[in-house]
Amino acid sequence: MSEQVIEELLNKLKSASLAIGGTEITLDCNDLDDYHIEKAQRELRETPELVQESFKILGDLLGDEENLFIPLDQKFLQRFLRRCKWYPRSTFKLIQRFYEYQKNHPEFFDNLLPSNERAIFTSEILTPLPLRTSDGLRIFVIQAGRKWNPKEVSLNQIFRGVILNLIVAISEPKTQVSGVRVILDMEGLTLTHVTYFTPSFASAIIEFVQKCLPCRLKGVHIINQSFIFDMVFAFFKPFLHGKLRDRIYFHGDNKASLLSYIDSKVLPKKFGGDFDLPEESFGELFYQHAAHFEDYFIDYNRYGYVSEI
């Protein structure tokens, strides 16, 4: 698909919105405002001269990468370059790792379409919050206890939903610059839930987050966890290291602790914030909103390493 067609499709998606609590979730593909321009310069080394140099070097590296089919336009590549602070060779290695992971884990990537993942949307396990934080971050909430019925939604389906939302989020320039935070709400986690976790699943998830994630992950905030959560975390802990380990925060039921990282205007009231997230179900509306991105993912599924002919 050409750069022009991709741009037209993204522009079409800008008009797709979902109202939650009186606030609309929309795809924000607008250019950076002054705040994010300054932030990109300060945190990502982003200057016009470095940007053009990095695009040139990365384009040359990708041109020599056999069997990798991805768009080479600047808007696509900048999501990876911003993740790597405009170091082109580090970006090239990230792209290689991302698409190698995609090839090696078809359970997470094959036929990745909103229409195939309806259950994750209607279950409301995964919800992007409508408002950004004061420093520009997107917030995602995963309710892996009370909302999760493992007989209806598998762990693989939850992660497929995470990837769907991630791919959409990193098309937003402001999210590329500022990054995301994830809230894991473990209220209602039971021993039955624990039985669905395995070391192989934990290893695969941590490998993706630590080595392949194409966005800036600023924090994972675990709330309402009980002693049962310790059993789940035991699967993941052996694989954690470095920066990711330092960016996992355990808040329990301490709402003030969570508010020290995330603005109250962004957080739902049940988490100690001011945002009025409706109690009534909005899962079907969430799915209908996601369905607008079907064509985008049909095209996206063509990207990656192709088999040698």
CATH number, domain with residue 275: 3.40.525.10
Domain that holds residue 91: 1-309
Quote the tokens at residue 12. 């079409």
Per-residue confidence band for 287, with pLDDT thresholds at 50, 70 and 90? confident
Q: pLDDT by residue (tens digit) across 103-122?
A: 999 999 999 999 999 999 99
**If you search the block for the tokens 């789940």, which residue do you land on?**
232
Helices of type H across 112-154: 118-122
Q: Find the range with the poorest average confidence among 42-46, 184-188, 209-213, 274-278.
A: 274-278
Structure confidence at residue 236 (pLDDT):
98
Closest CA to 169 of 26, 4, 5: 26
Q: pLDDT by residue (tens digit) across 205-249?
A: 999 999 999 999 999 999 999 999 999 999 999 999 989 999 999
Mean pLDDT score of the chain: 92
Q: Find the range with the poorest average confidence among 40-44, 61-65, 187-191, 290-294.
A: 290-294
CA dist 79 and 83 (Å) reads 6
Q: What interhelical angle do 48-63 and 74-83 show, nearest 10?
A: 100
CA dist 144 and 106 (Å) reads 23
Residue pair 106/125 in contact (Cβ under 8 Å)? The answer is no
Higher pLDDT, 123 or 9: 123
Residue pair 156/128 in contact (Cβ under 8 Å)? The answer is no
Residues linked to residue 23 through DSSP beta bridges, in sequence order: 20
Please give the single-letter amino acid code of residue 87.
Answer: Y
Quote the tokens at residue 170. 């990193």
Cβ-based neighbours of 271, under 8 Å, separated by 6 or more: 183, 185, 223, 255, 258
CA dist 142 and 124 (Å) reads 8
Whether 5 has a pLDDT exceeding 70, the answer reads no
Q: pLDDT by residue (tens digit) across 20-42?
A: 666 777 788 889 999 999 999 99
DSSP 3-state of 134: coil
Residue pair 267/273 in contact (Cβ under 8 Å)? The answer is yes
The domain total for the chain is 1
CA dist 138 and 131 (Å) reads 7
Whether 10 has a pLDDT exceeding 80, the answer reads no
CA dist 91 and 82 (Å) reads 9
Q: pLDDT by residue (tens digit) across 138-182?
A: 999 999 999 999 999 999 999 999 999 999 999 999 999 999 999
**If you search the block for the tokens 């994972």, which residue do you land on?**
220
Model-level pTM greater than 0.85?
yes
Structure confidence at residue 309 (pLDDT):
47
Q: pLDDT by residue (tens digit) across 53-105?
A: 999 999 999 999 989 999 999 999 999 999 999 999 999 999 999 999 999 99
Structure confidence at residue 286 (pLDDT):
82
